[in-house]
Amino acid sequence: MRTIIALVGAVVCLSACQPNSSTQKPTQEPTAVTATKSLGQNKLSESKRLNEWFATKYEEQLQSNPIMLTFLGRKEKYDQINDMSAAFEKKQLAWQAATVAELTSSFDYNQLTAEAKISYDIWLYQYEQAKAGQEFNKNGYIFTQFNGIQAFAAQFLINFHRVDELSDMQAYIKRIGGVSTAIDQLLVRAKENAAAGTRPPKFAYEGVIEQSGNLITGTPFSKAEGATDSPLWMDINRKINGLVDADKITSDQALSLKLAAKTQLLETFLPSYQSLITWFESDIANTESNPTGVSTQNNGQAFYNYMIGVSTTTELTAAEIHAIGIKEVARITNEMIEIKNRVGFEGDLPAFFNFIKTDEQFFYPNTDEGRQGYITDTETYLDFINKQLPQYFSILPKADLAVKRVEAFREQDGAAQHYNPGTPDGSRSGVYYAHLSDMSAMPKNEMEGVAYHEGNPGHHMQISIAQELTSVPQFRTQASFTAYSEGWGLYAELLAKEMGAYQDDFSDFGRLVNEMWRAVRLVVDTGLHTKGWTEEQAIAYFKAKTPIAEEAIVSEVRRYLVLPGQATAYKIGMLKILDLRENAKQALGDRFDIRGFHDTVLGGGAMPLAILERRVNDWVSSQTPK
C-alpha cells in the first residue's frame, strides 16, 4: 500500500514515546475510599479539556496544510498548495515544539483516561519524529520515480480537487501556479542534497524525467496537428464542461476559464517542469546505474538505522530484522512446498515457480478486456469478503470502495497496487489502484490477497474506520504509522483465509507468494542498505525466493532503494499483531472475542506498535473477571 499523503519523501523520526519528564504529577494521592468517584470525574474532566486542546491545535496544523484540507474534503485554502520550502519545515517544527511545551506544562498525565493518555503520547511521538529527523535533512530523496510531487501534483488535482462550482474551478487554476512554486522549492532542496552527496539512483532520475515529460506532452503544450490532450488539460476540460452541463456556468464563462487555465499551464506549469527536467538531465551523469543503499551517503548508516525505527516503530536493529527475514523466508518456503505437493506438481519449487510464472491459466490477456477482467474479478472477491465482515468486526466502515486502473501518466509496468483514502464524510470513496499496463506482471493467483490487503479487511477498512472515529481527537483519525497500517494490511491477507477466502490451492499459494514478498523485503532492504548489496544482487535473491514477475521484482527493489526502511514495516507489523492476538487468546481462553480484538486494534486509529500493545493489554484486562 502506498498513500499519497507523504508528498516529498520527507524524513521524519519515530522515537520511543513516554510521558515527558515535565508532566505535572498530582501533589498527593487521594484516599481510596473517599476519592474514587472524584478521581473518575477528574479524569473525565482533564481528558475532555485535553481533547478540546487537541482539536484547537490540530486545526492550526491543518490551516498550514491546504493539501490535507482537500484530502479531508474541505475547501478552505482551496486555491493553495503547501509551502514545500526548508524554511517552512523549520517553522512547523518550532510550532510543534511550542505545542509540546504547552501540552506537558498544562495537563496532568496521571489524571487522564487510558484513551487520552494514548492521544497525549502520540502527539509527543510525532514531535519526536520531526525533531530527530532534522539531523537527516540532507539524506532524503526529494524526487524519485516512486514518490515525488512531479507526478503527485497532477494526481492530486485530477482525483482530489473536486469542482462543484465556478469558484472551485477558479481555485483549481490558481493551484496550478502553486504546483509550479512547490516544484521550484523542492528542486532547490534536491540540488542542495545532491551537493551534499545525496542522489537517488539513475533509474529514479529516469523515472522523474519520464513522468514530468508525460505531463507536458500534448495539448496545450504541443502545437502539432492532431496532438492528444495532456492529462491536466483533459481534466480541466472535463471539469469545466461538467459545470456547463450542470448549468453552473455559461458557455462564455467556460471559454474564459479554459483560457485562464491554458495561460497558467503555459506560463507557470510548463516552465517549472522544463526546469525540473533540464536539471535532472544535466545531473544524471553523476548517478549510479547498479546502485546500493544509503550506507554510502554521508551519515548514511545512521540515517538507515533511524529510518527502520521510523518504519517499524520499534528498536529492532538492521541485523535483527535481517535475521527475522531469513527465518520467515524459510518458514514460508516450507508452506509453499506443501501446496506444490498437494496440487500434484512433479518437480522442485523453482520449477513450480516457473510454471506459475508462465502458464497462461494464471494471467489475463494483455488487452483492455483483460484489464477490465482484473478489475471485475477483484470486485467479486471484495464482495465475498464484505459479506463475512460482521462475523469478525463490530465496527464496520461506512465509506465506499472503488477499484480503478492507475492513470496513464503515472502508470508503471509491474508497480505495486496501492490504496488512496476517501474523505471522512464519504463524499469521496476510497480507491484501490492497480497498475495494469502489463498484465503479465499481474498474475491471477496473487490478486485475491492483494485485494484484501488494499480493500477489506485491509487498508480501506482500517483507514476508513480511523477517519470515521468520533471517540478520539481528529489528529488521531489521520495519524500514519507504517508498521501499524501495513502490518494490518498483511495481517488482513491471512485473516481473509480464516474468513473463507482463497477457495483453491493456487490462490492460497498466491497468498503465500504475497507473504514471501514481505519476508524477502526484510532481507533485501537490510541487505541493500547495510550489507552493500547492489540492485542486481537484490533482484537475484528476490527471483530465487519467489515466482514474482521480473518486472515487478525490479520495480520493488527500486522502491526499496529510494525508500530506505519503509518495506521492513509490513512483516514486522504483521508479526506484532499476530503476537498480540495470540497473547490475548492465551490470557482470555474461551472469553476471547475476535471481534473485540479487531475493534480494539482498529478502534483507536494508527499508533506505534508499543502503544498498540498497551491498548490491547488494557482490553484484555477489561475482559478478565475481577
The type of residue at 3 is: T
Residue 565 included in any domain: yes
Q: Which of 83, 106, 136 is the last residue of a domain?
A: 136
215 and 322 belong to one structural domain: no
**Other beta carbons within 10 Å of 536:** 12
Is residue 13 one of the residues assigned to a domain? no
Evaluate whether residue 587 is within a structural domain.
Answer: no
Q: Is the domain of 52 the same as that of 130?
A: yes
Domain count, the chain: 3
pLDDT at 427: 84
Identify the pLDDT of residue 552.
86
Its pTM stands at: 0.89
| Domain identity same for 248 and 390 | no
Residues of the chain with pLDDT under 70: 1-41, 626
Could you tell me if 394 and 534 lie in one domain? yes
Q: How far apart are CA 42 and CA 56, in angstroms?
A: 21
Q: Are residues 205 and 187 part of one domain?
A: yes
The answer to whether residues 216 and 363 belong to one domain is: no
Same domain, 360 and 480: yes
257 and 220 co-located in one domain: yes
Domain that holds residue 243: 149-294
What is the amino acid identity at position 102? E
pLDDT for 39 equals 53
Q: For residue 557, tell me if it sits in a domain.
A: yes
At residue 42, the pLDDT reads: 77
Predicted pLDDT of residue 41 = 66
CA dist 349 and 44 (Å) reads 59
Q: Do 125 and 207 fall within a single domain? A: no
The values of phi and psi at residue 405, to 5°, are -80, 145
pLDDT at 625: 77
Q: Is residue 242 part of a domain?
A: yes
Distance CA 551, CA 438 (A): 9
Q: What is the 3-state secondary structure (H, E, C) of 541-585?
A: HHHHHCCCCHHHHHHHHHHHHHCCCHHHHHHHHHHHHHHHHHHHH
Residue 585 counted as domain residue: no
State the Cα–Cα distance between residues 475 and 547, nearest whole angstrom: 41
Distance of alpha carbon 312 from alpha carbon 486, whole angstroms:
10
Same domain, 89 and 158: no
Question: What is the predicted pLDDT for the residue at 7?
Answer: 39
Shared-domain flag, residues 273 and 367? no
Quick one: 405 and 533 in the same domain?
Answer: yes
